[in-house]
Structure 1
Amino acid sequence: MTIKRLWQTIRLWSLRRSKDRVEYLKKNHIFGQIGENVTIMDRRTPLYANLIRIHNNVHIASNVLFVTHDITHLMLNQKFIDRRYLETIGCIEIMDNVFIGSNVTILNDVRIGANSIVAAGAVVADDVPENSVVGGVPAKVICNFDE
């Protein structure tokens, strides 16, 4: 962890209210985008946070992990010395009117569609369709809001 990320995390821990944490994140341009009426309960600064875009009316519970990168290249480069594998880095985008439950893991190159709920403990490895409720490992559609 860099000194800058460590300081950001310490600063986030010192802010008791989610509203204050979101304002700090916005003011310091830590995330790629944070819209209006956003709640972020977690106090950790994700690696490559600038690749995370959060739109309006998004509420993120505690211990949500944003994984914007994949380090399997380290293992592969040791195993297959004659080849070079690169680190995979990708964006995460959370559209309007989304709730993300606690202990969710969101992997890189994922878009969570508008008007969606991600159940606690889910691992989101693929895009989430609009107007849906997803859960599980990996996250699958449980139902949609029309049902």
Structure 2
Amino acid sequence: MYNFLRLILKRNMSNKKWRKRGVEIGDNCHIYGSIDNGHEFLVSMGNNVTLASGARILTHDGSTKKLLGYSKVGRVDIGNNVFIGAGTIVLPNVRIGNQVIIGAGSIITKSIADNSVVAGNPARVIGTYAEFTKKNKLLLETSPIYKTHYSEKTMKEKMQMKAELLNGIGFDI
């Protein structure tokens, strides 16, 4: 339980840090990735946004700096109920709509409409939010469920989980 509380406190400290730097952040946001240093004030996030580990939001493009003497800059606006997967890069001048899931490792070069699931490099729509939700609710009914937070699992629970997931997927709290 201590490790879990430490993670929550660390996240809240991170949100305070980003707000201090000018990022607009809604409620219940989890920022484990990074936001462009120096241009953070060009980023806004709605409620219930997760920026997974290794994900990056870029608001400037230095490719024009030597050529023109200026870097390109653009806003990044993120709606409500958005998950941005690990290792994703969001480029400047992008709007991510409401109820959007972005697969790990994606490169977001263009705006994403509401209710979309996208993945790839460059990212493309692979489904809707509703389809994703339905598919995973059905999977939840037939898959192992683990109710101990990952930071609190015993070695026995970890070994059991490893064995049970040998041929499939499960769900962890």
Q: What RMSD in Å do the two structures reach over aligned CA positions?
A: 2.0
Is 1:67 equivalent to 2:58 in the alignment? yes
Amino acid at match of 1:139: A
For residue 24 of structure 1, report the CA deviation from its aligned partner: 3.1
**TM-score, normalization: structure 2?**
0.65
The aligned residue for residue 47 of structure 1 is: 38
Q: Which whole-Å CA distance do the structure 2 matches of 1:125 and 1:48 have between them?
A: 18
Q: For 1:14-25, list aligned pairs within 5 A.
A: 17-25=10-18
Residue 58 of structure 1 contacts residue 96 of structure 1 at CA under 8 Å; is this kept in 2?
yes
SS at the partner of 2:15? helix
SS at the partner of 1:17? helix
Q: For CA contacts below 8 A with separation 6 or more, give which structure has more relative contact order.
A: 1
Q: Which whole-Å CA distance do the structure 2 matches of 1:128 and 1:57 have between them?
A: 17
Rg (Cα) greater in structure: 2
Moved over 6 A (4+): none
Change (3 A) 1:32 1:137: same
Q: How many residue pairs align between the two structures?
A: 124
Change (3 A) 1:138 1:132: same
- Equivalent residue for 1:135, pick from 119, 128, 146: 119
- Deviation readout 1:120-144 (Å, 9 max, x if unpaired): 0000000011001000000100101
- Deviation readout 1:75-123 (Å, 9 max, x if unpaired): 5x2xxxxxx4642110001100000110000000000110000100000
Amino acid at match of 1:38: C
* Gaps in structure 2 of 5+ consecutive residues: 1-7, 132-173
Amino acid at match of 2:65: L
Percent of aligned pairs sharing the same letter: 31
Residue 34 of structure 2 contacts residue 56 of structure 2 at CA under 8 Å; is this kept in 1?
no
Change (3 A) 1:136 1:39: same
Residue 55 of structure 1 contacts residue 94 of structure 1 at CA under 8 Å; is this kept in 2?
yes
For residue 17 of structure 1, report the CA deviation from its aligned partner: 2.0
